[in-house]
Amino acid sequence: VYKVDVNGRDVEGPLSIRVNLSHTVAQYRAVIARKLKLNPKTILIGMTVHKDSAKLLQNDDATLEDEHFIEYCKVFVTTVPQQTGDDPEQYYARFRSFMQRLDHLVSLYILLPNMEPDTLESLSIPRLSKETLATIAAADNPMAAAAGDSNSEDSSLSDNDRTLVEDDFVHIKLNGDLHLTNGSNGALSNGVKCTTATTPTTNGGFKNDDDNDDDDDEDAKLAEMLQECRAQEYYFKVTPLDTTTTGSSSNNGSSNNTNGSTADDSSTRSHSTDSQKLIQVLIDKRSCNAYLKYRLQPYLQISMDYFKVFSSDVLCPTNDSANLLKELDYKDDDRLALVLGRVLRKGEYKLNVSYVNVNDMTEEMDNTAFLCSTIVKNGDLIGQIKADILASLPTTLGEAAKKYAHLHSNNCRLRRKGIKYLSNVYKDDERIGKDITMLSSVDVFLQEVDDLASLTPIDINDVVLLVRRWYPSEMKLGKFQEILFTDKLELTKHLSRISGIPEENVEYVKIPQTTLHRDSVLNIQNGLQWTSTPQHADDCQIYCVGTLLYYRDSKEPLKELTPEERKELTKKDGRTSSTYSPRKERALKIYLDASPKKADD
């Protein structure tokens, strides 16, 4: 049941009321009046029937079954104004017209993130300018329609629903600049500027005409859809909810009880939490996701480019730009979540950048220091992306950036994160979309390298490998090392050169990275397939970038372990081999009770 103000074009609710179909309209009116604390003699009840059709319930003696009530139908209640010069039939007609517009209304609950200024600043999310907010507030006067009660239907919903600037619906003035809805103005994320920000020089002069055409087409479609939603005057309203108390919400409007129960009750549900703010949104579900986000802008005071809305039961929300033009696919009482962050356009990718130095690497790669997130676009040059990241660290990290002050373009590079360790090397002269393909969100490392030139692949067969020396006499693995495996040097010779092991004694083994754990130290010496076969980069395709190799001196004796040492190594393997701890399964116990009492039952 929705309570509506016909003159003010306002809607409250919904409230769920269960009744029996055998109840009369008069009894139903009394129930609604008691729930809404209204005078039953002054309320008018209506309901939507069929498509874009509504009727008034004016026959008090008719039963709800006679009025063709169905489960979850929408019922609207309004208070008839007293002592007005209007013809009652005109008021009834406006009520029916308003109900028709609300036939597709859906009630959603959205959890809001922390919107404090410090949070927005840390994410580099600008607020809408005061000028824009003032313009929107002037256009969104809830009582604008009250003065035009005698006007035609054109002033019905749009007078209250108009939060949009009349002259320009698609663009909102953001900090003094016209800002297109999907944000191509160099958005920032965690303090890192989007490398596609303003000028083509950022991309080294590279310009992808196909991408630009796609962007223009996407913007045109979005503008057309938003204009259509406005022309249809789809209803929209935001209501902040009190998160300190249990809120009452609807259960899909009004429903009737067909099981013969004569009791009526209001279905309530708590939609509040202690740590997050909650709002209720009433919106016409025929509109699109872009319209929902656009109409939330005045309430959030930030551009729709900087937040995403998705169902709260989605574990891994994806980029929502592909869903902007789709109709809302939500039901009454659906719970949504709002996440702050720059919305990716077509051809844009989010890089989550962490720091790594191979010399300091450990098994726990999940503990690497996170630096920032940045947004890149097809055509961007890796060298420029790296330079932008380095330049942004003081702003992003503050005092913590001093730890990385020694980094510059000639002693670090970008690497893609692999299943466990490092993967593809992104060279400075490569471009996103041309030389490098990416998913919408990619984890990368800003890797510090002491001698970058000697560890940068040049030929197509060059491969950067991770190696660790195994010391049998100490039963331990050495530190991680990195080598460039090329056609010019055979593998065993290369390993001999960096370790001092005689070439004829070098043995190595490839370690698969299909899992997050490594083999037990107790299993390395005799449980792996060690080999000393000479190999070159051009005659072996089994090595990919980031492959891990163990190598050893085949003549080095194996340490004899005491029981205590073996036990300690076993414990250490359990701590470092994997962070994944599967839940132990318990056997199902089935008891058979063959007592006479149970048998008689």
pLDDT per residue over 305-318, tens digit each?
A: 888 888 877 655 55
The count of domains in the chain is 4
What angle, rounded to 10 degrees, do the helices at 289-300 and 209-231 form? 80
Same domain, 404 and 294: no
On whether both 235 and 123 belong to a single domain, the answer is yes
Give alpha helix (H) positions in 78-189.
Answer: 88-101, 117-122, 130-139, 158-161
Residues 561 and 468 grouped into a single domain: yes
SS3 505: helix
Considering the domain architecture, whether residues 558 and 469 belong to the same structural domain is answered as yes
Cα–Cα distance, 42 to 81 (Å, whole number): 8
Q: What's the rounded mean pLDDT across residues 106-125?
A: 86
Q: Give 386's pLDDT tier (boundaries 50, 70, 90).
A: very high
Greatest mean pLDDT among 132-141, 248-257, 523-532 lies in 523-532
Residue with tokens 């299909």: 514
pLDDT in the model for residue 162:
38
- Quote the pLDDT of residue 506: 93
- Given the DSSP bridges, would you call strands 463-471 and 476-485 parallel, antiparallel or unpaired? antiparallel
Of 454, 478, 505, the position where a domain reaches its end is: 454
* Sheet arrangement for strand 277-284: 236-241, 277-284, 105-112, 334-340, 307-311
For residue 518, what pLDDT is reported?
62
Q: Convert the pLDDT of each residue in 151-187 to its tens digit.
A: 333 333 333 333 333 333 333 333 333 232 223 333 3
Share of the chain above pLDDT 90, in %: 17
Q: Is the pLDDT of residue 381 over 90?
A: yes
Residue 298: C-alpha distances to residues 139, 164, 333 (Å): 11, 9, 23
pLDDT at 67 over 70: yes
**Residue 173 belongs to a domain:** no
Are 334 and 357 within one domain?
A: no
Sheet holding 255-257, edge to edge: 255-257, 16-20, 266-267
Which phi and psi angles does 272 have, rounded to 5°? -120, 155
Instruction: Tell me the average pLDDT of the chain.
Output: 75
Between residues 539 and 35, the one the model is more confident about: 35
Q: Is residue 430 very low, low, confident or very high in pLDDT (cuts 50, 70, 90)?
A: very high
Tell me the chain's radius of gyration from C-alpha atoms.
33
In a domain, 114, yes or no: yes
Regarding whether 531 and 516 lie in a shared domain, the answer is yes
User: What is the bridge-based pairing of β-strands 441-448 and 348-357?
Assistant: parallel
Q: What is the band of 411 on the pLDDT scale with cuts at 50, 70, 90?
A: very high
Residues 108, 236, single domain; the answer is yes
Q: Is 180 a domain residue?
A: no
CA angle 485, 489, 494 (to 5 degrees): 70
List the Cα angle 306/311/315 in 5-degree steps.
95
Q: 313, 343, 373: which is the final residue of a domain?
A: 343
Query: Cis omega before residue 88 (within 30°)?
Result: no
- Same-domain pairing of 421 and 469: no
Higher pLDDT, 529 or 122: 529
C-alpha to C-alpha distance for 275 and 115, rounded to whole angstroms: 12
553 plus 450 within the same structural domain: no
Nearest to 185 by CA among 71, 303, 359: 303
Distance between CA atoms of residues 68 and 75, nearest Å: 12
> Which value, to the nearest 10 degrees, does the dihedral of the CA atoms of residues 93, 97, 98, 100 take?
140
> What is the predicted pLDDT for the residue at 383?
94
Question: How far apart are the C-alpha atoms of 108 and 323, rounded to whole Å?
Answer: 18
The per-residue DSSP string of 151-166 comes to S-GGGSSHHHH--S-S
The predicted-structure confidence for 213-250, as pLDDT tens digits, reads as follows 556 677 788 888 888 887 788 889 999 887 643 333 33
326 and 450: one domain?
A: no
More confident residue, 172 or 46: 46
Whether residue 422 is contained in a domain is answered as yes
Q: Using the 8-state DSSP alphabet, how is residue 263 labeled? A: -
The contacts of residue 513 (CB under 8 Å, 6+ apart) are 418, 419, 420, 421, 546, 547, 548
CATH number at residue 298: 3.10.20.90
Residue 291 lies in a domain: yes
Six-digit token string for 249: 């919400």
Euclidean distance between CA atoms 56 and 48, whole angstroms: 9
Is position 20 within any domain? yes
Asked, for residue 194, whether it belongs to a domain, the answer is: no
Q: Under a CB-based contact definition with an 8 Å cutoff, are residues 48 and 99 in contact?
A: yes
Note whether residue 581 is domain-resident: no
Residues 117 and 92 in one domain: no
- Phi and psi at 118, nearest 5°, equal -65, -40
Residue 486: domain span:
463-572
368 close to 355: Cβ distance less than 8 angstroms: yes
What gap in Å lies between CA 38 and CA 23, rounded to an integer?
Answer: 19
Q: Which two tokens stand for residue 167?
A: 């002259």
Q: Which of 343, 369, 395 corresponds to the end of one domain?
A: 343
pTM of whole model > 0.75?
A: no
| 469 and 447 in a common domain | no
Per-residue pLDDT at 414 exceeds 70: yes
Is 268:18 a contact under the CB 8 Å cutoff? no
**CATH code for the domain in which residue 490 is found:** 3.10.20
Beta-bridge mates of residue 432: 436
User: Residue 205 burial (CB < 10 Å; 0-12/13-18/19+)?
Assistant: exposed
3-state secondary structure of 524: helix
Q: Which of 89, 47, 93 is nearest to 66 (CA)?
A: 47
